[in-house]
Structure 1
Amino acid sequence: MNYSTRSFTDIRAALLAREEVALVDVREEAPFAEGHPLFAANIPLSKLELEVFSRIPRRDTAITLYDDGEGLAQIALIRLKDLGYGNVRLLEGGLQGWRDAGGELFIDVNVPSKAFGELVEHHRHTPSLAAEEVKQLLDDKADVVVLDARRFDEYQTMSIPGGVSVPGAELVLRARELAPDPQTRIIVNCAGRTRSIIGTQSLVNAGLPNPVCALRNGTIGWLLAGQALDHGQSRRFPAVSDRTLELASADARNVADKAGVKRGSLADLQAWQADATRTTYLFDVRTPEEYEAGHLPGARSTPGGQLVQETDHYASVRGARIALLDDNGVRANMSASWLAQLGWEVYVIDGLMLSEFSETGAWHAPIPTPWQVEEISPQTLRQWQEQGRVAVLDFTASAQYVKHHIPGAWWTLRADLSSALRKIPAAEHYVLTCGSGKLARLAVPEVEALTGKPVFLLQGGTASWIAAGFDVESGETHLASPRIDRYRRPYEGTDAPREAMQAYLDWEFGLVEQLGRDATHGFKVI
């Protein structure tokens, strides 16, 4: 089959012209992290149908797919056409074609945001303290507070002793409450560099009177200094007073105005959403708990700190319009100020009434109409296993599989099915599962086509097996595919090698120079 292609030169020109570009790497996250263009969005073929509607919402977006010669992009193109996407092409020559044309390749994940953070520090000389200096301040019981700008679950895994969880977008709103004395020193940390730089600079930009600095190199720097971290902490930010809210609102609006953030109303938003020629993302940047208690219909829950950190994941169409909202303007304006500097056309939706936050519950990604497949209960599966007639394929995330899975289940990557099935003993029946059953359901017709055998879906996924009280096992007991679905960050967990942590920092230090070579970023630092 002949496929339409798009060249490196054409994509580069579109990026520079601020046109909408969806450059999609359909490999798994680990190979993606080994090298990709700056603005490539990673939407693995294995999960394409579950992610693409939210990440590329407009069906006639100009989409360009690539892999590194594995043949995944061609399959993805057909699937996207079947889903109604009408303007899909392949990258000319794939990833190697990008290399051959002189395109810059970046390693790791969320690179636009991380590179931008380095650019901010480079231009603004964001103040920071070394881990040894911070520890001395804490040991001396100095007038200091440590604010952890990561997600709460990351903070719980490991944190600076005495640190309080204040995810990035919450800092300007909450810092005055945590450090009411303007003489109190505020130290902002994350695991590495980006969120501590952005968090610190947020407080500086907002004009907080306190001395503010980043913990240089975050928890990585802390560990490299031979210092111990806390684990399992639960200190979270408190509620804020009316006066704190009033000051934070004015500060955040000033920063947003300086960054060139645009303003919009609910009527404007509705007009943008009805415009079939332009992509509009609508993000609610409050905490997940606030979102679930009540939100504007159609808004996606994207806490502001993570939105700035992982913009490529949430807004995968470079050049799209982004609309942000919250209930008081502070978090939306601060988040928008960073997105504007990251080169996005970004609006804050003003004038919303509390009554318009009428929808409750968690956000759920829009997905295609599910396949109608035959399902079996955990009890039936257990009977079949006792009779030895069945193979169980588990499509959940590999880390979740290692944590616990149905005894004897084979961990399988959907994009690797044909190869994986050669490693799995042939069976009379196949039963597919994953955490919820959504991903496994998509694989049912594919396994049927490859095996010619009856294939069933475990009703309710592995969660239903556990709920039935049946035993599970853990570890890498039956891997039918390589564990490449997730790139292990050098800073995550509690056992990262020192060499990997130092190499990660060295890479971050080099990002400003790499941005200069690429020259498509369009970033500006206020």
Structure 2
Amino acid sequence: MSTVTSRTFQDIRRALLAHEELALIDVREEDPFAQAHPLFAANIALSKLELEIYARVPRRDTAITLYDDGEGLAAQAAQRLLALGYSDVALLQDGLAGWRAAGGELFRDVNVPSKAFGELVESVRHTPSLAAEQVQALLDDKADVVVLDARRFDEYQTMSIPGGISVPGAELVLRVAELAPNPATQVIVNCAGRTRSIIGTQSLVNAGIPNPVAALRNGTIGWTLAGQQLAHGQERRFTEVSDNNRAAATERARKVADKAGVLRLDRAGLQGWQAEASRTSYLFDVRTPEEYAKGHVPGSRSVPGGQLVQETDHVASVRGARIVLIDDDGVRANMSASWLAQMGWQVAVLDGLTAADFSEAGEWNAPLPALAQVTEIGVEQLQGWLEAPGTVVLDFTASANYVKRHIPGAHWAIRAQLPQVLERLPVAERYVLTCGSSLLARFAAVDLQALTQTPVFLLAGGTASWITAGKPLESGETHLAVPRTDRYRRPYEGTDNPREAMQGYLDWEFGLIAQLERDGTHGFRVLI
């Protein structure tokens, strides 16, 4: 059995500067992670470790270093990883406090490498931008202008610029000629804050499109701070691409990728990379999820390119690993790869694919360890139990899902905090555990049974089965067993954030370049 060692701040820094593979994992929940963490730390909460680790750290002998901030979670995670077959597991010496004491730079928020890189891109390239007031004036004057929203479609639907069209980041170079066929049309790219509008705008500039292009300065935050109204529930989406426009976009994207030093692989080359036992190679399909579901290369994971550049740490959690990108048009993979290369990744595009290579249909399913056997009950049995006292339902879904709707009387809980949860629950004759599908609840059931003599059951099919059966639902923060620390409240999300929080977020983004300089490990290089 492998043992757990320790690594110091200096060990991690040396490995980063040497471009060695490493996974520095913060096992706290997302909110405390977002308050302070090292630049290249990946957040994989202890609560969801089994659900995420095999996909995010696929090679079992990767050098993994775990940390928390004194909560004792990292030591638990280390034992869990050893049981899952990982062999090189260490704890960060003295945890987050040790990093801080050694002079290590600490960053706030989430997806910080991508956001800091975006600020660096704007600083180096002087990415063109327009203030919210200027864009509003263009719209009011009915100028020849098109606004393209580079976020995910669900984010766009929540709040967007009136008249804006949803074109997630990696789609911009492929789709822009259809949406702005007149080269005189002013193209404006927006997101909620800064990063995706900067990267999206600079993508169009790098690709050499003929239109004038600018980022909406500070995104929907800037729009709101200017006192201008956002739209909600818009449904404008990009259109199909003509053969001529696709060919032109492919040529533009390939030139950008070549300039960035993106590597090329064919199927044999990919097999060679994947056969190297000492290296991690991620295989991502950067098309839309709908295209992936219709047909994809076996073994690839669906990660739309715009989100991949925005959230690289969330899917490629081994810094120093290799990334291989797939599309079927030569545009989205090359543009996404051009950014990853500038962010210090060794990245290749898989060339020479034919329709026959996209032979597997369906959604991507994360690789999981063996699932424990837990006694399951159905919806009708749970409803019958709830008609009398003694049954306590625990819901391990994301807190936002719980607040939206849950089984009446269910207590919301975080798996990694079960000892604290038990102290806050009423006396139970039995516990019934659920989440959206009951997958996470199944792992929690094993943990809970080790802590109590009370019988533990699993709701088959999770809360989804309860909803499908048309059973009653409850909403709101009705029974929170622990605080909602599972997700960091992003100042750029939603429509009810205080103005001070939005301005504070912008000020924080402006300061990221100075933090990068102090940290000194980023390895970013911006194409000139």
TM bin (shorter chain): over 0.9
Q: What residue number does 1:58 align with? A: 59
Post-superposition offset of 1:198: 0.2
TM-score normalised by structure 1 residue count: 0.99
State how 1:250-265 maps to structure 2 within 5 Å.
Answer: 250-265=251-266
Distance in 2, matches of 1:262 and 1:12, equals 27
State how 1:145-184 maps to structure 2 within 5 Å.
Answer: 145-184=146-185
Q: What residue number does 1:479 align with? A: 480
The amino acid across from 1:165 in the alignment is S
Per-residue CA distance 1:215-255 (angstroms, 9 max, x = gap): 00000000000000010000000001111001100000000
Q: Secondary structure at 1:426's aligned position in 2?
A: coil
Distance in 2, matches of 1:73 and 1:438, equals 22
Q: What residue number does 2:401 align with? A: 400
- Identity rate of aligned residues, in percent? 72
Distance in 1, matches of 2:61 and 2:330, equals 33
Q: What residue number does 1:284 align with? A: 285
Q: What residue number does 2:104 align with? A: 103
Residue 3 of structure 2 contacts residue 89 of structure 2 at CA under 8 Å; is this kept in 1? no
Q: What residue number does 1:517 align with? A: 518
Q: What residue number does 1:212 align with? A: 213
Distance in 1, matches of 2:333 and 2:318, equals 20
State how 1:52-91 maps to structure 2 within 5 Å.
Answer: 52-91=53-92
Residue 390 of structure 2 contacts residue 427 of structure 2 at CA under 8 Å; is this kept in 1? no
Q: Secondary structure at 2:387's aligned position in 1?
A: helix
Distance in 2, matches of 1:446 and 1:255, equals 50
Q: What residue number does 1:439 align with? A: 440
Distance in 2, matches of 1:470 and 1:421, equals 26
Q: What residue number does 2:222 align with? A: 221
Distance in 1, matches of 2:388 and 2:502, equals 49
Q: What residue number does 1:371 align with? A: 372
Q: Secondary structure at 1:391's aligned position in 2?
A: strand
Q: What residue number does 1:271 align with? A: 272
Q: What residue number does 2:451 align with? A: 450
Q: What residue number does 1:92 align with? A: 93
The amino acid across from 1:386 in the alignment is E
Runs (4+) off by over 4 Å: none
State how 1:118-517 maps to structure 2 within 5 Å.
Answer: 118-517=119-518
Q: Secondary structure at 1:387's aligned position in 2?
A: coil
The amino acid across from 1:19 in the alignment is E
* Alignment: residue pair count: 526
Q: Secondary structure at 2:25's aligned position in 1?
A: strand
The Cα RMSD (Å) is 0.9
Distance in 2, matches of 1:276 and 1:454, equals 44
The amino acid across from 1:314 in the alignment is V
Per-residue CA distance 1:381-437 (angstroms, 9 max, x = gap): 111111212111100000000001111110000000001111001211110000000
The amino acid across from 1:130 in the alignment is A
Q: What residue number does 2:15 align with? A: 14
Distance in 1, matches of 2:210 and 2:353, equals 30
Per-residue CA distance 1:275-327 (angstroms, 9 max, x = gap): 21100000000000000000000100000000000000010000000000100
Residue 40 of structure 2 contacts residue 113 of structure 2 at CA under 8 Å; is this kept in 1? yes
Residue 66 of structure 2 contacts residue 89 of structure 2 at CA under 8 Å; is this kept in 1? yes
Greater shift in the superposed pair: 308-317 or 359-368 = 359-368
Post-superposition offset of 1:466: 1.2
Post-superposition offset of 1:2: 8.2
The amino acid across from 1:312 in the alignment is D
State how 1:31-42 maps to structure 2 within 5 Å.
Answer: 31-42=32-43
Per-residue CA distance 1:469-510 (angstroms, 9 max, x = gap): 110100111010110000010011111110000000000000
TM-score normalised by structure 2 residue count: 0.99
The amino acid across from 1:317 in the alignment is V
Q: Secondary structure at 1:295's aligned position in 2?
A: coil
Post-superposition offset of 1:3: 4.1
Greater shift in the superposed pair: 459-468 or 34-43 = 459-468
